[in-house]
Chain A
Amino acid sequence: MKHVKSLITRNLKESMKKGGCGECQTSCQSACKTSCTVGNQSCEQLSK
């Protein structure tokens, strides 16, 4: 494409198929303790 550079092409919808296992880290246990920052967590299934 001439006018667009796609940085990420994904569809979160895909994660509905295999997601929701609940094995991921609880976000407050990482560093913050004062805000809910799930966007920077990793998926336990992907990190295996």
Chain B
Amino acid sequence: MIHAYKNNGYNIVLDVNSGSVHVVDDVVFDLVKIIEDKLKRTYGTAAAPEGQTTVITGELDRLYKGVLAKTDLASKYSTEDIKEGIEEILELRAAQVLFTDDVYEGYVDDFQNRETVVKALCLNVAHDCNLRCKYCFADEGEYHGRRALMSEEVGKAALDFLVKNSGGRKNLEVDFFGGEPLMNWEVVKKLVEYGRSIEKEYDKNFRFTITTNGTLLNDEILKFVNKEMGNIVLSIDGRKEVNDSMRPRAGGQGCYDDIVPKYQKVAESRHQLRYFVRGTFTHANLDFSEDVKHLAELGFKQISVEPVVASPEDWYAFKDEDIPIICEEYDKLAKYYIEKHKEGKGFNFFHFNIDLEGGPCVAKRLSGCGSGCEYLGVTPWGDLYPCHQFVGNEDFIMGNVFDGITRPDIRDMFKKSNVYSRPECQKCFARYYCSGGCAANAYNFNGDINATYKHGCELQRKRIECAIMIKAALAE
């Protein structure tokens, strides 16, 4: 399977199953799909036979004749160019970097049948918030339940649960989340101290992170965060008017003027690394590339601005007709991103960060984020959910931090959810980059964790196209 597309003047061919990327001229771009189809018709697959490392004699002439008979490419390109184009396509095929087959399905089944361990927790230390963000999936901190703060006892039990269920895994991730976690800062501090105190005994390494709206951030907290936390996610939506209209305080005032200087201090104090300013864009600011630019102009180097996930009836939810507009915005943003990098003033945009050469192994790419088995969400009173997005939907309570997992059936359902359990993913070129998408989004839109979330998929595909194009542009 290949994905051939044009973006920003580049012709790009992604060989989906190998992960190889080729930038091609017009003649090869016009030929590649035709050759793939012809090979499939002849051999049942376009992939080179196992062990074949050279182009088969006569294949070139046969394909050339077929191209002439069935297309008008001869009126567009010279004979020499068409023959050279076909030859180069066949060479890539023989080198196993074009038209490769999907050989992973059985492998992923084996991988997913392994004994899993819990390696990450999202600790909702505060089901309460001092902002009233209009799009909050956490129901302004309450998660459709009651306001509550996690006690030290519950938090310690959560860390003990994690250690006990983590098997041989050394690195354990704990994100302090909410609501607003700084509303329960003393407990956060105590839990970090407790985690550090048990690391040596159990041969573990806690990687703590925190996600905050910044309003309660101060120098003392920052000092502690910089010492102990591997990442800090700082919420801000971009331009002042955008941020303040969507992220007001309980009294209605905006928070932009308060948080921006604090965030700039955080970024500098962490040497512009191991943090993200993170925003959400909605139907109300479809020109979100301006918000990303704004954040870059404020000096931030680690930026994530992400599409809202909302019920169709919410006024700020995306409509079908918004999707092409958002795609154009990603194109605009990609051009700006390239320009800034070439000027030596580059920044990272989270959704454009694709590691084409390294990146995760195929097992990880196909099996997903680990929600429900390797990654769990914890409420202030210790209930376990498949992830933070499921918190509040009591059908998904999997147990609690004191008694452990009491619903292994839920865990097993998530464990079996992967790219191959989602029929929509079989024809999608992006499947090795999103691993089938977010189970919570799939459930919330379709009532099935093995479905897909249409708008999310369309935007994911666009971002991947842009991210690959950026690599091509920056490689020049």
- By a beta-carbon cutoff of 8 Å, the part of chain A in contact with chain B is 1-13, 15-16, 18-44, 46
**By the criterion CB–CB under 8 Å, are B360 and A41 in contact?**
yes
Query: When the two chains form the complex, which single residue of B20, B25, B111, B438 contacts A36, counting CB atoms closer than 8 Å?
Result: B438
Please indicate the chain B residues that have their CB under 8 angstroms from the CB of A23 in the complex.
169-171
Residue B130 at the chain A interface, CB threshold 8 Å: no
Known: A4-B23, A12-B362, A20-B364. 20 other contacts (CB 8 A): A3-B81, A4-B28, A6-B23, A7-B468, A10-B357, A11-B100, A12-B17, A12-B19, A13-B362, A15-B362, A16-B363, A19-B362, A19-B364, A22-B117, A26-B374, A29-B375, A34-B309, A34-B438, A36-B437, A40-B355
A15 surroundings in chain B (CB, below 8 A): 361-363
Option from B92, B207, B387, B434 in Cβ contact (under 8 Å) with A6: B92
Restricting to B69-112, which residues have a CB under 8 Å from any CB of A? 81, 84-85, 88-89, 91-92, 95-97, 100, 103-104, 107, 111
- Interchain residue pairs A-B with the least CB separation, the first 10: A19-B361, A39-B433, A20-B363, A15-B361, A26-B120, A40-B353, A31-B276, A31-B304, A7-B21, A11-B18
Q: A7-B475, A11-B97 are in contact. Are A28 and B387 (CB under 8 A)?
A: yes
**Contact across chains for B388 and A28 when beta carbons are under 8 A apart:** yes
In the complex, which of the residues A4, A8, A22 contacts B19, with contact meaning CB atoms closer than 8 Å? Answer: A8
Known contacts being A1-B88, A13-B100, is A26 close to B119, with CB within 8 Å? yes
A-facing residues in B1-49 (Cβ within 8 Å): 17-25, 27-28
Closest A residue by C-beta to B26: A3
Task: Kindly specify which of B60-68, B251-259, B365-373 makes contact with the partner chain.
Answer: B365-373
Contact partner, B368, options A13, A16, A31, A36, Cβ 8 Å? A36
Interface size class of B (residues with CB under 8 A): 35 or more
Which residues of the other chain, A, contact B24 by a CB distance below 8 angstroms?
3-5
Q: Is the CB of A26 within 8 A of B100?
A: no
**Complex contact B361–A20 (CB within 8 A):** yes
Interchain CB contact under 8 A, B170 and A3: no
A29 CA / B184 CA spacing, docked (Å):
20
Q: Give the chain B neighbours of A13 by CB distance below 8 A.
A: 17-18, 100, 103-104, 362
Residues of B within 8 A of A3 (CB): 24-25, 27-28, 81, 84-85, 88
**Is there an interface contact between A32 and B350, defined as CB atoms closer than 8 Å?**
yes
Cα(A35)–Cα(B355), bound, Å: 17
Is the Cβ of A16 less than 8 Å from the Cβ of B122? no
Are the CB atoms of A30 and B27 closer together than 8 Å? no
Q: Tell whether B175 is near chain A: CB-to-CB under 8 Å.
A: yes
Residue of A nearest to B457 (CB): A35
Known interface pairs A6-B22, A19-B364, A39-B359; A32-B433 also in contact (CB < 8 Å): no
Q: Are B436 and A36 in contact (CB under 8 A)?
A: yes
Q: What residues of B have a CB within 8 angstroms of the CB of A9 in the complex?
A: 20, 95, 97
What residues of chain A lie closer than 8 Å to B464, measured between beta carbons? Answer: 39
Q: Which B residues touch A19, using CB under 8 A? A: 360-364
Interface residue? B441 (CB, 8 A): yes
B25–A38 touching, CB < 8 Å: no
Once the chains are docked, how many angstroms separate the CA of A5 from the CA of B28?
11
Return chain B residues, CB-CB under 8 Å to A41. 355, 359-360, 364
- Establish whether residues A29 and B365, one from each chain, have CB atoms under 8 Å apart when the complex forms: no
Q: Once the chains are docked, how many angstroms separate the CA of A20 from the CA of B304?
A: 28
Let me know if B231 is at the binding interface, CB within 8 A: yes
Closest chain-B Cβ to A26's Cβ sits at a distance in Å of: 4
Measured CB to CB, the closest approach of chain B to A20, in angstroms, equals 4
Decide: A6 and B361 in contact? CB cutoff 8 A: no
Query: Is the Cβ of A8 less than 8 Å from the Cβ of B20?
Result: yes
Contact residues in A for B157 (Cβ distance below 8 Å) = none
B283 CB to nearest A CB, Å: 16
Closest to B468 in A: A7
* Contact of B359 with A40 in the complex, beta carbons under 8 Å: yes
